[in-house]
Amino acid sequence: MILVTQGTVANTDLNELIGPTLVGLSTEDVTVIAATGKPDGEIATPVPENAIVTPFIPFLEVLPKVDVFVTNCGYGAVNQALSMGVPLVVAGETEDKAFVAARVAWTGAGINLGTSRPTPEQMCRAVRQVLNEDTYRAKARTLRNNYAQYDALNLVNSYVESFLESERIIRAAYEHSNA
């Protein structure tokens, strides 16, 4: 299964990424789920028989079943995918997306197409490459294992508690010296 999204911010023109993905994979033996991120997710191209277009998809439930995640490289979506060991095809140039895309390519967990508007042919080639070369999935799984070593919420909590304790000590020392 291939999951494609343009996220919740850069989704005014769904033919930047979703359209070319649907067209490029329309004759492939895959199921494509396109999450538009908006209720009126109009796509100019016809939806092929092997695709489902929906405004929303619960990523946490679907990503473990995904073979390749195609995204415009939003930071949150990329981290969710990698935390579940899902390899990526990324295409994004706005906001921090170029930086995130470069990191995806650097890790070896996906392919950076280097554009926000890939062609259907580029999409098909990249998805096929990720499906056919085990190195992308292996790198994504290595990252999943790295993510699993950390409990982010507990780490954040401990840093905040440590900071607050330091502030209390400093404040008490200041109040003591001015008494």
Domain boundaries, the chain: 2-148, 149-179
Q: Record the pTM.
A: 0.84
Euclidean distance between CA atoms 2 and 57, whole angstroms: 13
- Is the separation of the CB atoms in 20 and 117 below 8 Å? yes
The reported pLDDT for the residue numbered 13 is: 81
Stretch 17-36: mean pLDDT: 96
Among the residues of the chain, which ranges form H helices?
Answer: 18-24, 59-62, 75-83, 97-107, 120-132, 134-148, 152-177
What fold is seen in the domain 2-148? Rossmann fold (3.40.50)
The reported pLDDT for the residue numbered 94 is: 82
What is the three-class DSSP state of 54? Answer: strand
> What are the tens digits of pLDDT across the range 73-124?
999 999 999 999 999 999 988 888 999 999 999 999 999 999 999 999 999 9
For the record, the structure tokens of 52 come out as 């489902």
pLDDT at 40 exceeding the cut of 80: no
> What are the tens digits of pLDDT across the range 69-84?
999 999 999 999 999 9
The reported pLDDT for the residue numbered 14 is: 85
